[in-house]
Amino acid sequence: MQATENVKATQARQRRYDLDWLRVLAVLLLLYFHTAAIFYQGELGEFYIQNVRSSQIMNGFILFVHQWHMPLFFLVSGAGTWFALSFRSARQYVQERGQRLLIPFVFGTLVLIPPQVYLRLVSRSSYHDSYFQFYPQFFNGIRPHGNFEWGHLWFILYLFTFSIVVLPLLLELRKPKSHWQSTLANWVEKPGVILLLGLPLAAIEGALRPHWIGFQNLYDDWANVCLYLLYFVYGYLICSDDRFGEAIDKHLGIASGLAALCMSILLGLWQTHSIPDRGYFLVYILYQCFRGCNAWFWVVALLGLGRRYLNFNHTLLKYANEAAYPFYLLHQTVLVVIGFYVVRWNVSIMAKFIVISTASLLVTIALYELLIRRFNLARFLFGLKLISRQAIIQDSQS
């Protein structure tokens, strides 16, 4: 009994509320990002539902968030892996990853993605089959040459793959006398080194992005695979030693300044249509390297701001921590269904944006509350821990 209490006390001391908040806020931001994608037109591709008119404001918002959002997601996931391996064996960790990631991925791909693909077909062609007639066609070929895809659930598949592939490295870095971990922690204490960790990320962007622009199919997406894998490992390392956090704190000001400067330059290039042509040309390679550095500056700045202002617990955080994952799984399907009808309204783009995002937020939370939170079968399918009958009764009475 005493040993159990000691373990729980240790876990409580280790809890990083700033990372919890960043994760929750990143999931919430995703809803507004995907709403804005309905009004976006550009090189990142078309969303499932498109408004007739695009918006320069939405374009800018999409391009801004796209620079750092998924890197932050993978880094926070890597940080979470550090804590997960603090009280799990390698075997327990692999089993937990399968239950939390693989099962929701399969369920989501079969249930949550087909409605999005169906509405895309209906909205952009003379497709008139019913949804039930369409569903078998979902498995006809792989996008872009067919209908099958895993949509926004690509993040879950990538995260599962990373968790398994680099597990031997993660376990090696956990060892008390790990040479690589201690060397890097010693090195990062030096001025500016935390910012120089962006150079490998920039090298990946410059070397791989000209060929693999970013289609998240896992097997032919090497720019994203290498980039996000490194962010995942960075997140793991940052939690392995207090010196990483201290370095982030010391460089918050300069990281924020560099992030603002670099983003201003990028937005200026996009606004003036000055982006170089894609290919293995020096100017395009340098452009992608610049993007890689910019993303890292933003991630460091956001981590620093989180450490300074978000390292506190709250009742809302406890609720949001559990709700965030089902919210992520559900939100895009809900948003696409609502957007399919709202884009037809004869109102302004901003009015459509507000209606779609607000309605999607409320409906997604309602689905979580009514269909998932208190039912163990749904919790299992959405990657949540099962709860006892007594806990369900207590929750319903509260």
What pLDDT band is residue 12 in, cutting at 50, 70 and 90?
very low
Residue 8 lies in a domain: no
Whole-angstrom distance, CA of residue 196 vs CA of residue 198: 5
Looking at the fold, whether 306 and 334 belong to one and the same domain comes out as no
Residue 380 lies in a domain: yes
Q: By the 8 A CB rule, do 44 and 59 touch?
A: no
Looking at the fold, whether 318 and 285 belong to one and the same domain comes out as no
Q: What does the DSSP 8-state code read for residue 153?
A: G
| pLDDT (tens digit per residue) in 119-170 | 999 998 888 899 999 999 999 999 888 999 999 999 999 999 999 999 999 9
Tell me which residue of 28, 78, 13 sits closest to 317, measured CA to CA.
28
Q: By the 8 A CB rule, do 48 and 119 touch?
A: yes
- Claim: this prediction has a pTM higher than 0.85: yes
Looking at the fold, whether 193 and 316 belong to one and the same domain comes out as no
pLDDT tops 70 at residue 194: yes
Looking at the fold, whether 316 and 302 belong to one and the same domain comes out as no
| pLDDT (tens digit per residue) in 338-391 | 999 999 999 999 999 999 999 999 999 999 999 999 999 999 999 999 987 666
Looking at the fold, whether 291 and 324 belong to one and the same domain comes out as no
142 strand-pairing partners: 148
Q: How far is CA 53 from the centre of its chain?
A: 28
- For tokens 């990143």, the residue is 26
What pLDDT band is residue 9 in, cutting at 50, 70 and 90?
very low
Q: Using the CB atoms, write b or e for 301-326: b if 16+ within 10 Å.
A: bbbbbbbeebeeeeeeeeebeebbbb
Domain final residue pick, 268, 284, 311:
311
Whole-angstrom distance, CA of residue 367 vs CA of residue 251: 42
Residue 132 lies in a domain: no
pLDDT tops 90 at residue 30: yes
What pLDDT band is residue 4 in, cutting at 50, 70 and 90?
very low
Whole-angstrom distance, CA of residue 308 vs CA of residue 311: 7
Quote the tokens at residue 55: 């918006």
Radius of gyration from C-alpha coordinates of the chain:
22
3-state secondary structure at position 296: helix
Domain final residue pick, 311, 338, 367:
311
Residue 19 lies in a domain: no
Whole-angstrom distance, CA of residue 229 vs CA of residue 237: 12
Which residue range forms the structural domain that includes residue 329? Answer: 312-398
Mean pLDDT for the stretch of residues 244-257: 97
Lowest mean pLDDT among 32-46, 67-81, 296-310: 32-46
The CA distances from residue 336 to 53, 169, 283, 330, in Å, are 17, 39, 37, 10
Domain final residue pick, 262, 293, 311:
311
Residue type, position 185, single letter = A
3-state secondary structure at position 142: strand
Q: By the 8 A CB rule, do 117 and 149 touch?
A: yes
Looking at the fold, whether 291 and 182 belong to one and the same domain comes out as yes
The CA distances from residue 380 to 103, 161, 316, 376, 377, in Å, are 8, 20, 23, 6, 5
Quote the tokens at residue 154: 């690509």
Residue 170 lies in a domain: yes
Look at residue 13 in the predicted model and tell me its pLDDT.
46
Look at residue 145 in the predicted model and tell me its pLDDT.
86
Residue 9 lies in a domain: no
384: phi > 0 → left, psi -120 to 50 → alpha, else beta; which? beta
Tell me which residue of 210, 223, 274 sits closest to 70, measured CA to CA.
223
Looking at the fold, whether 291 and 317 belong to one and the same domain comes out as no
Q: How many domains does the chain have?
A: 2
What DSSP string describes 123-136? HHS-----HHHHGG
Q: What does the DSSP 8-state code read for residue 16?
A: -
Looking at the fold, whether 172 and 231 belong to one and the same domain comes out as yes
Looking at the fold, whether 320 and 277 belong to one and the same domain comes out as no
Residue 388 lies in a domain: yes
